Chain A
Amino acid sequence: MESALPTLAAASRALAAGTVSSLELTRACLQRIARLNPEINAFITIDEEGALQAAREADARIARKEHTPLTGIPLAIKDIFCTQGLRTTCASAMLANFIPPYESTVTGRLRTAGAVLLGKTNMDEFAMGSSNETSHFGPVRNPWDLDRTPGGSSGGSAAAMAAGMCLGALGTDTGGSIRQPAALTGITGLKPTYGRVSRFGMIAFASSLDQAGPMTRTVEDAALLLQVMAGHDPLDATSIDAPVPDYAAALPCDLRDVRIGIPEEYFGNGLNHEIRAAIEAVQEVYRELGATLVPISLPMTGHAIPTYYIIAPAEASSNLARYDGIRFGHRADQPKDLRDLYCRTRAEGFGPEVKRRIMLGTYVLSSGYYDAYYRKAQQVRRLIAEDFSTAFAKHRLTAILTPTSPETAFLLGEKNQDPVSMYLSDIDTINVNLAGLPAISLPCGLDARGLPIGFQLIGRPLDEPAILATGHAFQQATRWHAHTPPGVTP
């Protein structure tokens, strides 16, 4: 059903015009959260007081005409971003009571722009999962079908967007954690180029892959959020020191110059036929808009999942060593000695998927296994990146078009006993993280059950403007982004 929840861009224009106040928008979001969250479980922490205070300040700022496009916009923040003075859990028992004394660069920039932070959204524990079922705070339910997962790990942000609890949300994407839930909940989700957005204050899962990005109703909204999030940060040595283009200005474009690659490896037998049909329809739309579609091959595609499940757990096993019960977070009661403190703190504080990945990562880095696993995976990772750069150069492509997920939203409990089948949920997104490229997922249909289908546009490094513009053209020509879950009304 098309019901057109408000977009961030429209709300921003209304705020500037004075036809609505931030307090009204914020209250509406808080009311919807109060009504729907008990069932959907999209939020771990709701900061009503902070949000209302920020809304009042935003209204005053708008009255003074000192606002930005984000001033007064209510946003949902994945609970992986440290927020000063506001509990940040990473959906783990380990950090259930952790209140950071510092602010992540991304949320700091949003606050400075005047955005209203409604609260912290649910996610897979330490962003490790594809269904939001590994959260210490319970699974998130998909507003399209409450028996189904919204995907993960940014499932709370995706569900909050789909249910209209906010006008924009922040996610993070290590192997597809923004794009897969965006596809499964019918919203738009952008993973920027690695290094485009600062990771400072974003709790690390796999440092060389993690990247924050916007989850929104439309591509235009994603452009507005990215504009504030992106840019070099002296506190993050891996952030890219390159000028930030005007993303919104780049949106209108003529697709007659655009060449879109269609990689055969993403359309194999495992692909659900409804998704295949939906993606073919997307290609048709682009053809009609004047774009050139180019069949291409990315031969390394099949190596992505094993490569990722060596590199990401290796980094995670080291990144999560700091949770030792000594300085912050969970600490075991009455430890006998140091070893007991470490063992019980970590046994009690981490859930099973986190432990599985710490063990995997510890194993692949161990002396005697490093060359066979970690070093080999780094070599394959380089080849995967070359695969993309070769295809982009050889075919002079603007973007590469693929499904975002091989399936639509699956049932809660369907895969969580089978880690490998769960890992395969990210088969269409993981390559992009390994190559560090930007990619966006957009809604493009509904399956027979009425569940959203998404497609992905992958761009060249730092060429967010191209995939945003290409995605925007699709949303100008179609209405899939305006569909909302049954029962969710403006």
Chain B
Amino acid sequence: MSTDFETVIGLEIHTQLLTRSKIFCGCPNRFGAAPNTQICPVCAAFPGVLPVLNRAVLDMAIRTGLAVNGQIRLRNEFARKNYFYPDLPAGYQISQFELPIVEHGELIIEPEGAPSRRIGITRIHMEVDAGKNLHEGIQGASWVDLNRTGTPLLEIVSEPDLRSAAEAGAYLKKLRSIVRYLEVCDGNMEEGSFRCDANVSVRPRGAERFGTRAEVKNLNSIRNVMRAIEYEAQRQIDLIESGGKVVQETRLWDANQNLTRSMRGKEEAHDYRYFPEPDLPPVVIAPERIAAIRATMPELPDAKARRFRDTLGLSEYDAGVLTASHELAGYFEATLAGAAPADAKSVANWVTGDLLGRINKEGLEITASPVPAQALGALIAMIQENVISGKIAKTVFALLWEQGGGDPRRIVAEKGLNQVTDQGAIEAEVDRILALHPEKIAQYQAGKSQLLGFFVGEIMKATRGKANPGVVNELLKNRLQTS
């Protein structure tokens, strides 16, 4: 990318809320059912029916607002966004316009290998999702499925504060992690429950004014958001450098061909004729309600990472890795709880090392780990208690993985993997090995001290790893000195 230009990005994110029922009626908020089976006259905008706000949506919006340090508007209002489309049965979308529920939020991002930055969140507002037009089946006809109509959404709009695809990626990951921690959204971009549109523009570095922006849609993964931003910024730079002008328009990302293409220009832009929704009174929130929600807020990734560092003594890196997702942090904490007397550091090593290594290698989610946190905790505890060695633990871990869980203590007992700490038994083995290698003893005593490792290895081999390495080391040193 040319160094003469700076990319400016703002992201608009639509999060589908995990409420039991829809935003304005009692229909289930559920997916995958046969078309038009999860609807009622309110969903289908029949004459005379009215919307009634699901209070759970309001609570989730407040939670999300608090999580990004936003200001909650104690009096906010819904507005109608008017346009005709078959999947929009009322001919208007109920959204928020002039008075959204959350304003002036922020998110601190830490892009890899770059300094952390504060990204402003302009606003978060509640709105309703539309249905879906289906074009498969009959030639020359389209069908409308209204099951999704009425799904509650939060639209989270960032300031144009992002300056690179990497920052956009970090912002998305952070925000997705937060909505998952809050349990307001499953954050699934592929399935469209966490959707992102990117406003991208470029300007000569140092310029004050923003360039003309394009809105890029159809971004169904963080990777695609980043690729689309990179492509779009370069397209705009090339256009400007070849004497052209960027036009304000909506562009679609084509992930197969790695490019964006024009969808509709400004001249075709809708006049949405927003006005306050007269069917819903303004939403008035009591400060006590915000206080009550604040009191039940979960520990969010940043606070958790701080605690992992400061209280548990983990490294910055481990704390970051372990808090990146709500589920992983939960797994780590459950493992730690079962691993006493082992310390957090060794638990972190196991989780980020052996466990995540295997999880990533097999392309699994942490929630689908065949080794439950409890089992891993028990395994780590046994190392600390000298019941098994670290090496044996890896064997037991592999067994747990293959059989999809189980009690590691039983596995160790059944397979006879208990570490041998019996001084006499180990002594006998040490003497047997030393007797086989008189020349090596001479070399050791002549100053070749690294041969100690050879002896330890031979003894561990002979005891199939069960000898306590600490005891072996100590006995060997004694024998080699005295013989």
Interface residues of A (CB under 8 A from B): 80-82, 88, 90, 95, 98, 100-102, 104, 199-204, 206-208, 234-238, 314-315, 317-318, 320-322, 324, 326-329, 338, 342, 362, 365-367, 370, 374
Contact = CB atoms under 8 A, between A and B. Distances in A.
B48 to A, nearest CB: 4
Contact of B281 (A81, A203, A237, A318): A237
Interface in B41-68: 41, 44-53
B91 A318 contact: yes
8 contacts: A82-B46, A82-B47, A102-B49, A199-B50, A204-B47, A317-B82, A322-B91, A370-B273
Contacts of A200: 48-50
Contacts of A207: 278-279
A82 B48 contact: yes
Contacts of B51: 237
Contacts of A203: 47-48
B48 A201 contact: yes
Contact of B47 (A90, A237, A367): A90
A362 B274 CA distance: 11
Nearest to A239: B50
Interface in B257-276: 271, 273-275
A308 to B, nearest CB: 14
B48 A235 contact: no
A324 B275 contact: no
B280 A318 contact: no
A322 B90 contact: yes
B82 A104 contact: no
B399 interface: no
A228 to B, nearest CB: 19
Task: Decide if the interface of chain A is mainly helix, strand, loop or mixed.
Answer: loop
A100 B273 contact: no
A315 B49 CA distance: 15
A318 B273 contact: yes
Contact of B48 (A202, A238, A327, A367): A202
Contacts of B281: 237-238
B271 A204 contact: no
Closest 4 CB pairs of A and B: A321-B91, A207-B278, A365-B273, A208-B278
Given A321-B90, A327-B44, A237 B53 contact: yes
Contacts of A88: 47
Contacts of B86: 324, 326, 338
A338 B88 CA distance: 13
A102 B275 contact: no
B148 to A, nearest CB: 15
Contacts of B52: 234-237
A321 B86 CA distance: 11
A314 B50 contact: no
B278 A315 contact: yes
Nearest to B280: A237
Given A100-B46, A102-B46, A326-B144, A238 B279 contact: yes
B275 A321 contact: no
Given A199-B50, A234-B52, A237-B51, A366 B84 contact: no
A102 B48 CA distance: 10
A365 B53 CA distance: 25
B279 A314 contact: no
Contacts of B82: 317-318, 321, 365
Contacts of A206: 278
A365 B275 contact: yes
Given A204-B48, A367-B273, 12 more contacts: A80-B48, A82-B48, A104-B48, A200-B49, A207-B279, A237-B50, A318-B82, A318-B91, A318-B92, A324-B84, A365-B274, A370-B274
A198 B338 CA distance: 58
Nearest to A200: B50
B28 interface: no
Contacts of B50: 199-200, 235-238
A327 B275 contact: no
Contacts of B49: 102, 200-201
Contacts of A321: 82, 84, 90-92
B45 A318 contact: no
A324 B89 CA distance: 8
B203 interface: no
B293 to A, nearest CB: 21
Contacts of A366: 271, 273
Nearest to B87: A326
B52 to A, nearest CB: 5
Contacts of B80: 318
Nearest to A368: B271
Contacts of A328: 44, 46-47
A166 to B, nearest CB: 22
A203 B50 CA distance: 10
B107 to A, nearest CB: 31
A225 B90 CA distance: 32
B28 to A, nearest CB: 18
A8 to B, nearest CB: 25
Contacts of A204: 47-48, 279
B48 A237 contact: no
B89 A102 contact: no
A370 B275 contact: yes
Interface string B271-296: 10111001111000000000000000
Contacts of A235: 50, 52
B143 to A, nearest CB: 10
A374 B48 CA distance: 23
Contact of B41 (A101, A329, A374): A101
Nearest to B84: A342
A324 B44 CA distance: 12
Contacts of B53: 237
Contact of A100 (B48, B91, B144, B280): B48
A288 B100 CA distance: 56
B89 A322 contact: yes
A237 B41 contact: no
A237 B273 CA distance: 23
A338 B48 CA distance: 25
B149 to A, nearest CB: 11
